[in-house]
C-alpha cells in the first residue's frame, strides 16, 4: 500500500551546479540537511526549482538518488519525474519508485501543448507503470495546458492521481477542486501569490518558493491557518512574508522585467544556508540592488545573511 500524501510544508530542493553547468552533487547533502533542520513536512527534488529542464535523463536520476540518500527517509520525498514524452516520464517514474521516492510530482507535457484528453492519457500511462501516488503539477504558464476541475476530478476518480499542486494565480481554482472532491483529493497551494487564500480554503499543504527558501517561516503560516485556525496570527505572518513573495515574483506579476523567481530562490539559499551555486543560464544570478532588498527582507524574517 502506498503511503498517504504528506500534509504541511514541502520544500523543493534545488540542484547545485558548477559555473560550467556541470553538477555539484557534493553540495546537495548540506542543502537537504539545512532544509530538514527548518522543519519541513516533505521535500521535492527536481521540481521547477530543481532545474530539471536543464538536465539530461541520467543526470536527473543521479540528482534524485543523491537527494534520497541525503534525506534518508526522514521525511517523504516527492520526486519530480516530468518530461515531455510519455516514454521518458514513465522511465523516470519507474526509476524514482525503485530508488525509494514516496510520491511523484509531474507537470503536464509541455511545449507541444497536447489536448486535455491527450494530457490525461499521459497521466494514465504513467499510473499504469508505477504504484506510488502521483501529484499532478498544474502549471498553465509553463505548459500551455489547462486541465479544468472536471478533468482533474475524473483523473482522481479513476485513481490516476492522488494530489494536485495547483500553481494557478486564481485562488478559486484551489477552492473549486477541494469542493468538487469534498477534500478527498489532496490539493497543495503551488504558487506563493495565492498561498494565504489557498490555505484558508483548506489546501492540505504548500509547495512553492517560500517554503523552499524560508521553510520555518512558511511552516508558521501553515500552522497558524491549517492547524490552529488563528487568522489573526496568520495575517501577521503573511504581512512579514508578502514582501518576499512580491520580490520573488516581480517579473511574473509584472509580466515582464523584474526579479526572476529562481534568481531570488538561489540567492536566498546562498545568503542564509549552505552554498548551492547560481542558476543555469539563461536565468542569471540576482542583481545587486535586488540582492540588497532581499537581505533586508530576510533579516526581518529572522534569517540574517551570512
Span 99-142, pLDDT tens digits: 999 999 999 999 999 999 999 999 999 999 999 999 999 999 99
**Domains delineated in the chain:** 8-237 (3.20.20.70)
Whether residue 234 contacts residue 201, with contact meaning beta carbons closer than 8 Å, is answered with no
- With a cut of 50, list the residues of the chain below it in pLDDT: none
* pLDDT value at residue 305: 83
* pLDDT value at residue 43: 98
* pLDDT value at residue 257: 87
Whether residue 269 contacts residue 280, with contact meaning beta carbons closer than 8 Å, is answered with no
Closest alpha carbon to 75 in 8, 172, 154 = 8
Annotated catalytic residues are 137, 165
Whether residue 77 contacts residue 45, with contact meaning beta carbons closer than 8 Å, is answered with yes
Closest alpha carbon to 50 in 77, 73, 74, 76 = 77
Closest alpha carbon to 52 in 19, 13, 85, 86 = 13
Amino acid at each position: 500500500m502506498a503511503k498517504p500524501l504528506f500534509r504541511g510544508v514541502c520544500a523543493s530542493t534545488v540542484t547545485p551546479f558548477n559555473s560550467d553547468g556541470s553538477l555539484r552533487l557534493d553540495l546537495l547533502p548540506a542543502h537537504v540537511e539545512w532544509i530538514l533542520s527548518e522543519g519541513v513536512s516533505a521535500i521535492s527534488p527536481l521540481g521547477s526549482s530543481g532545474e530539471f529542464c536543464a538536465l539530461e535523463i541520467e543526470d536527473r536520476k543521479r540528482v534524485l538518488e543523491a537527494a534520497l540518500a541525503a534525506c534518508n527517509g526522514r521525511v517523504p520525498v516527492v520526486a519530480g519525474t516530468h518530461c515531455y514524452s510519455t516514454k521518458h516520464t514513465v522511465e523516470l517514474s519507474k526509476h524514482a519508485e525503485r530508488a525509494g521516492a514516496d510520491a511523484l510530482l509531474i507537470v503536464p507535457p509541455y511545449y507541444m501543448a497536447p489536448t486535455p484528453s491527450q494530457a490525461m492519457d499521459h497521466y494514465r500511462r504513467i499510473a499504469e507503470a508505477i504504484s506510488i501516488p502521483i501529484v499532478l503539477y498544474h502549471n498553465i504558464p509553463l505548459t500551455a495546458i489547462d486541465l479544468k476541475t472536471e478533468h482533474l476530478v475524473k483523473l482522481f476518480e479513476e485513481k490516476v492521481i492522488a494530489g494536485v499542486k495547483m500553481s494557478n494565480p486564481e485562488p478559486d481554482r484551489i477552492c473549486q477542486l477541494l469542493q468538487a472532491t469534498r477534500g478527498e483529493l489532496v490539493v497543495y497551494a503551488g504558487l506563493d501569490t495565492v498561498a494565504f487564500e489557498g490555505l484558508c480554503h483548506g489546501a492540505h499543504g504548500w509547495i512553492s518558493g517560500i517554503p523552499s527558501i524560508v521553510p520555518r517561516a512558511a511552516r508558521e503560516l501553515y500552522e497558524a491557518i491549517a492547524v490552529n485556525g488563528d487568522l489573526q496570527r496568520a495575517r501577521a505572518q503573511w504581512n512579514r512574508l508578502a514582501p518576499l513573495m512580491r520580490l520573488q515574483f516581480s517579473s511574473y506579476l509584472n509580466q515582464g522585467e523584474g526579479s526572476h523567481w529562481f534568481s531570488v530562490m538561489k540567492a536566498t539559499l546562498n545568503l542564509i544556508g549552505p552554498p548551492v551555486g547560481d542558476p543555469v543560464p539563461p536565468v542569471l544570478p540576482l542583481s545587486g540592488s535586488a540582492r540588497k532588498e532581499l537581505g533586508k527582507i530576510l533579516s526581518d524574517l529572522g534569517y540574517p545573511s551570512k
